[in-house]
């Protein structure tokens, strides 16, 4: 990108989307191939752009407008997606992906709904000081829990650790069994602190969203349990379906808030 290219232009530099291309609420998987699996769950969808790792489609789920944008692997590229989606008007973001569980009671195929995240990635540190918390929006968490309950999926709510490295940064050996300093104790330390899972994008997403006053959350399917040694790509669509239904529930929550004349969702309001 050169100095003559405006990062605030209507059509965004990396995503190649404009304000008419995306809904207010966007699901954020990592893999561009997952976009088709997400939109297959919707009433209708149309691809709007595909540039680099960023593939965007927009449609409706249960009548509610919804978009999906793939972010690639890791927090740096996810941050670019959030930046550019926010610039064209989106204000609600839900990561839908996969993760590794680190608590023994969690099964492959379960969902993890992130309430907050350990910021073991460098992207969010370039936005705000390291002791700033990465916290999910409570409305998004509530909608994800309600969606998982309605769909009958087993789920866990709690803290996620987001790393920049799939191997050494998550306590795995690197090439030729290389071990980074402290990696042998990493998973055990996180378990002791009641962290539920490890992935690579949630903490940056939550931090950036809070800095900008946006809504964000994350739901991931468990592909592996680091305690039991289980690994299966099972339940891939569960996170996407839960996230899609959560967007629909958030739209209903927003409507109820408007009718009640309040700014925040609370237990005294009902969707029924």
- What CATH number corresponds to the domain at position 225? 3.40.50.1580
pLDDT digits (tens, 9 = 90+) for 226-240: 888 787 777 779 999
DSSP tag of 231: B
pTM over 0.75: yes
pLDDT score of 125 = 98
pLDDT score of 6 = 60
Structural domain harbouring 76: 25-258
Q: Which residues are catalytic?
A: 14, 84, 172, 226
Structural domains of the chain, count: 1
Confidence of residue 4 (pLDDT cuts 50, 70, 90): very low
Are the CB atoms for 242 and 144 separated by under 8 Å? yes
Q: Does 4 map to a domain?
A: no
Q: Does 8 map to a domain?
A: no
CA-wise closest residue to 223 among 40, 140, 101, 128: 101
Q: Does 224 map to a domain?
A: yes
Q: Does 263 map to a domain?
A: no
Q: Does 41 map to a domain?
A: yes
On the question of pLDDT at 100 being above 80, the answer is: yes
In the predicted model, what is the mean pLDDT of the chain? 94
pLDDT digits (tens, 9 = 90+) for 134-170: 999 999 999 999 999 999 999 999 999 999 999 999 9
Q: Does 268 map to a domain?
A: no
- Mean per-residue pLDDT, 168-191: 92
Q: Does 7 map to a domain?
A: no
Summarize the chain as % helix, strand, coil (round to 5). 30, 25, 40
Residue 45 and residue 172: Cα distance in Å, rounded? 39
């Amino acid at each position: 990108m050169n100095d003559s290219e405006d990062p605030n232009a209507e059509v965004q530099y990396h995503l190649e989307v404009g304000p008419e291309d995306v809904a207010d609420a966007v699901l954020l998987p990592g893999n561009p191939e997952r976009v088709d699996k997400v939109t297959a769950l919707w009433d209708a969808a149309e691809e709007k752009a595909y540039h680099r790792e960023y593939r965007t489609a927009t449609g409706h789920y249960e009548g509610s407008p919804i978009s999906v944008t793939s972010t690639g692997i890791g927090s740096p590229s996810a941050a670019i997606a959030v930046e550019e989606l926010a610039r064209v008007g989106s204000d609600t973001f839900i990561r839908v992906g996969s993760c590794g569980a680190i608590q023994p009671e969690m099964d492959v195929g379960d969902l993890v709904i992130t309430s907050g995240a350990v910021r073991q990635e460098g992207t969010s540190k370039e936005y705000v000081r390291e002791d700033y918390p990465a916290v999910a929006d409570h409305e998004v968490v509530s909608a994800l829990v309600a969606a998982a309950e309605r769909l009958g999926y087993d789920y866990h709510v709690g803290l996620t650790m987001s790393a920049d490295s799939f191997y050494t940064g998550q306590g795995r050996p690197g090439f030729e069994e290389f071990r980074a300093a402290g990696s042998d104790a990493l998973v055990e330390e996180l378990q002791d602190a009641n962290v539920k899972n490890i992935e690579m994008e949630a903490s940056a997403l939550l931090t950036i969203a809070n800095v900008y006053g946006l809504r964000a959350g994350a739901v991931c399917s468990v592909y592996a349990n680091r305690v039991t040694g289980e690994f299966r790509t099972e339940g891939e669509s569960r996170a996407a379906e839960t996230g899609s239904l959560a967007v629909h529930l958030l739209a209903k929550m927003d409507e109820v808030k408007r009718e009640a004349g309040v700014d925040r969702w609370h237990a005294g309001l009902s969707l029924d």
